[in-house]
Chains A and B, each alone.
Chain A
Amino acid sequence: MKKFLMPTLGADMEAGTLVAWRKQPGESVHRGETLAEVDTDKGVIDVEVFHDGVIDSLLVGPGTKVPVGTPLATIQEHGELAGEEVPAAAEAAGFQTPEAPVGEPATTQADRQARMRRAIAAAMSRSKREIPHFYLATTIDAAAAVAFVAAQNDSLPPDQRLLLGAVFVKAAARAVREVPEVNGCWRDDAVELLSTVNIGLAVSLRGGGLVILTLRDPAAQPLTSLSQQIRDLTQRARTGRLKASELADATLTVTSLGDRGVDTVWGVIYPPQLAIVGFGTVARRPLVVANRVEAQPAVTVTLAADHRALDGHRAGLYLTAIAEHLQQPETL
């Protein structure tokens, strides 16, 4: 028997409220299918199952708020003997209300805004309290990347066009191969480096607040599909509905100010991650090109890193690696 748990969508999430079940006991579910709708500080999220099987029992009723990790349902896998691996806590039949409900579900937009601000406050305060940040910056010639995107987009239909932001994300993910120390988390007084690179992309929401969207293994994705994914996730984050898997498991965060922002962003690390990369707005700047000062598209890239996990030398090499990838955008 598999437990279907209240997911954790980042260090700032403590609990979620079950809004609705999409399936009932006895019905089949398939991996990736939405089983429940859950209200969180990041809005209402569709929570998918990770196994094929049959719903055995639903343990939590709509309107109930439970801490992350709480079993919400049990799923019997195909071919499985009944009763296998049933956790003691999930054996109680029927719906149960947790002994210490964290609070009432919020419903209004203002409530949701307030909850999101509190969640951001908790995560960012924890970050600044616990993580000894240090900061590095470099200004990179962006002419090659800008020209590459324009040339590609000239012959592509609108829904396949590239985003410069996707090029930045992919360069940041690729550069982890050269400096893996930026990708992972700090846990139990030790660095835990991760082999998978999932980039968390910070996206501002209309009317305030932000979410970190998860781009899974962007280093392996073509720029076209990565751009489509960023457009789809961003639009759904702002006006629609996200899935739990689209908000979980990021290993390194990127914040990009887009083309209407300012020169430089100094990020605050999203715990328990080790670093955050910031891309400022691309703008024409005086750069020295072939011994002459030229007006070139340039971008200031920053890194805020956890000094417990890495030092300035390696962090600097990571930014240099991003710069090198951006000089050869056709290899991304």
Chain B
Amino acid sequence: MPAPAHRPLSEAAVRAAVAQTLRQIAPEVDLSAIPDTANLRRECDLDSVDFQNFVIGLGKSLHVAIADRDAAGLVTLAGCLDLLVHCHSATTD
């Protein structure tokens, strides 16, 4: 696994990384129109392959190791913020 990030992630950084990663997978989606609690897979029509690519891209963009058991929580923007900002240590072993 990549080395865990030791610096805290800001909410703005996570939001930007989610938007940037989604743009590469679902370029036509307007993330600003999607509520934080909405299911991104449903809203953006992401299948399991897209979602794995989303988790890979998000981890690379933020330089964090996202455990497979945590990946399902990234299905909403609120879940991404929860995991990557508020409980950042939970993403690393």
Q: Which residues of A contact B (CB under 8 A)?
A: 150, 153-154, 156-159, 161, 163-165, 204, 206-207, 227, 230-231, 234-235, 238-239, 258-260
Query: For B41, what are the chain A residues with a Cβ–Cβ distance below 8 Å?
Result: 260
Instruction: Identify which of B47, B48, B65, B67 contacts A154 (C-beta below 8 A).
Output: B67
Q: Is B25 an interface residue (CB 8 A)?
A: yes
Q: Do B49 and A234 touch (CB < 8 A)?
A: yes
Instruction: Identify which of B2, B25, B60, B69 contacts A239 (C-beta below 8 A).
Output: B25
Instruction: Identify which of A156, A163, A239 contacts B48 (C-beta below 8 A).
Output: A163
Query: For A153, what are the chain B residues with a Cβ–Cβ distance below 8 Å?
Result: 68
Please, which residue of chain A has its CB at the minimum distance from the CB of B41?
A260
C-alpha spacing A150/B59, complex, angstroms = 19
- A256, chain B: closest CB distance, angstroms: 9
Q: Is B55 an interface residue (CB 8 A)?
A: yes
Dominant secondary structure of chain B at its interface with chain A? helix
Dominant secondary structure of chain A at its interface with chain B? helix
Query: For A163, what are the chain B residues with a Cβ–Cβ distance below 8 Å?
Result: 48-49, 52
Query: For A231, what are the chain B residues with a Cβ–Cβ distance below 8 Å?
Result: 49, 52-53, 56
- A242, chain B: closest CB distance, angstroms: 15
C-alpha spacing A157/B2, complex, angstroms = 8
Query: For A206, what are the chain B residues with a Cβ–Cβ distance below 8 Å?
Result: 26, 28, 45
Instruction: Identify which of B45, B48, B49, B52 contacts A158 (C-beta below 8 A).
Output: B52
Please, which residue of chain A has its CB at the minimum distance from the CB of B71?
A158
Q: Jot down 27 A-B pairs with beta carbons below 8 A, ordered by A.
A: A157-B1, A158-B55, A158-B56, A158-B65, A158-B66, A158-B71, A159-B60, A161-B52, A161-B68, A163-B49, A204-B47, A206-B26, A206-B28, A206-B45, A227-B52, A231-B52, A231-B53, A234-B49, A234-B50, A234-B53, A235-B49, A235-B53, A239-B25, A239-B26, A258-B47, A259-B47, A260-B47
Query: For A234, what are the chain B residues with a Cβ–Cβ distance below 8 Å?
Result: 49-50, 53
Q: Is B27 an interface residue (CB 8 A)?
A: yes
Instruction: Identify which of A157, A204, A207, A239 contacts B65 (C-beta below 8 A).
Output: A157
Task: Give the one of B45, B50, B66, B68 with max A CB within 10 A.
Answer: B68
Instruction: Identify which of B24, B48, B66 contacts A165 (C-beta below 8 A).
Output: B48
C-alpha spacing A154/B60, complex, angstroms = 18
Query: For A238, what are the chain B residues with a Cβ–Cβ distance below 8 Å?
Result: 25, 50
Please, which residue of chain B has its CB at the minimum distance from the CB of A227?
B52
- A233, chain B: closest CB distance, angstroms: 9
C-alpha spacing A128/B35, complex, angstroms = 44
Which 4 A-B residue pairs are closest in the complex by CB-CB distance? A153-B68, A158-B56, A258-B47, A234-B49
C-alpha spacing A238/B42, complex, angstroms = 17
- A240, chain B: closest CB distance, angstroms: 9
Q: Do B27 and A164 touch (CB < 8 A)?
A: no
The A-contacting residues of B in range 21-63, CB under 8 angstroms, are: 24-28, 41-42, 45, 47-50, 52-53, 55-56, 59-60
C-alpha spacing A28/B68, complex, angstroms = 45
- B2, chain A: closest CB distance, angstroms: 7
Query: For B1, what are the chain A residues with a Cβ–Cβ distance below 8 Å?
Result: 157
- A215, chain B: closest CB distance, angstroms: 13
Decide yes or no: A239 and B27 within 8 Å by CB, A157-B2, A165-B48, A259-B48 being known contacts: yes
Q: Do B68 and A230 touch (CB < 8 A)?
A: no
